[in-house]
Amino acid sequence: MNPPKQPHLHILLVEDSPVQALVLRRMLETMFSGTHRLSHVTLLSGALELLHRERVDLVLCDLCLPDSYGFDTFYRVHQECPETPVIVLTSLDDESIAVQSVREGAQDYLFKGQVDAPLLTRSILYAVERNRALVELRNQVLKDELTSLYNRRGFLMLAEHSAQMARRLGRSAQLIFLDLDGLKQINDTYGHTEGDAALLEFGEILKQSFRNSDIIARLGGDEFAIMMVVEGGTDDLATTRLQHGLEYANATRQRRYRLSASMGVITFDSERTLEAQLAEADAVMYAQKRAQKQAGLVQQGLANAGITGPGAAPVPGEA
């Protein structure tokens, strides 16, 4: 049988059995000779590290690994790369878990010991093509045209789904509401083209600050939201990265204004609606913005009165 012409693919094989890995490697070499790159890891931790570091076109993932077992294995991989197709490798005893994985986003599942080269090839090509069509359709319906982040519809759908999966696995979720400060002033002073540029830049900073698995959205205008699943109760690293990203952009970009954002963070409560908690996070954000504004007015008043000291704004003209 002549190998079919195939697209170049970077395939990640997550399999701890040396025998199974060798069999699958030889099948892939036969059917995708010269048109694929194979990365092989034996642990979930190694898979997550590689997915975070490199672009992968498809994941072949064993559900039972030394550091992870069952549906949680698929969930962690899918959370790390939600737009990458995953084919689950399973035994007959784990078919129910494999079916659950497909319901939650896996493209297919294959039984170990029953896979031959044509079946593996067909499954891979169908998975890649189906996923490509789904991603394209989802982008048309669920993505913001300007920033390519999710829009409100996409956020409400995907954040709810992410929160449900987190609850099943006993994890917490954080909901973050953000407001890009001063967008109206940017639009009024420099024009809407510059305002769009500010929104685009802020969207890119958000993408760099948060993980691929976090649901990042522009809800409309200057309002953004993020849903992130966390291992413990909270995760402050992403918000710290965001602040550093804004500071770096302001220091290195040649523009006539500074980018800043106000933020409200709450722990997601699965017993309440997502819309209600968006409103709560919004209220937390506005309370923070009012406090910052009042603090700024106090400091300006002290500066105008010539009062300096720790926390006081410098008097104009002083060093």
Which residue from 64, 86, 83 is spatially nearest to 73, judged by alpha carbons? 64
DSSP assignment letter at 91: -
Asked whether the predicted pLDDT for residue 298 surpasses 60, the reply is no
- Section 182-191 average pLDDT: 94
DSSP bridge pairs for 242: none
Q: How many residues does the chain have?
A: 319
Q: What is the mean pLDDT of residues 139-154?
A: 92
CB atoms within 10 A of CB 19: 9
315: confidence class by pLDDT, cuts 50, 70, 90? very low
The CATH-assigned architecture of domain 152-304 is 2-Layer Sandwich (3.30)
Hey, is 270 helix, strand or coil?
coil
- How high is the pLDDT of residue 135? 83
71-100 pLDDT, tens digit per residue, is 999 989 998 888 899 999 988 777 888 899
| 37-46 CB burial, b ≥16 within 10 A, e <16 | ebbbbbebeb
Q: Of 255, 254, 150, 261, whose CA–CA distance to 205 is shortest?
A: 261
What is the rounded end-to-end Cα distance, in angstroms, of the chain? 80
pLDDT, tens digit (0-9, with 9 covering 90-100), for 214-269 = 999 999 999 999 999 887 656 678 889 999 999 999 999 999 999 999 999 999 99
CATH numeric code, 9-142 = 3.40.50.2300
User: pTM of the predicted model, to two decimals?
Assistant: 0.68
State the SS3 of 240-268: HHHHHHHHHHHHHCCCCCCCCEEEEEEEC
Q: What is the C-alpha to C-alpha distance for residues 213 and 227, in angstroms, rounded to an integer?
A: 9
Domain boundaries, given as residue ranges, for the chain: 9-142, 152-304
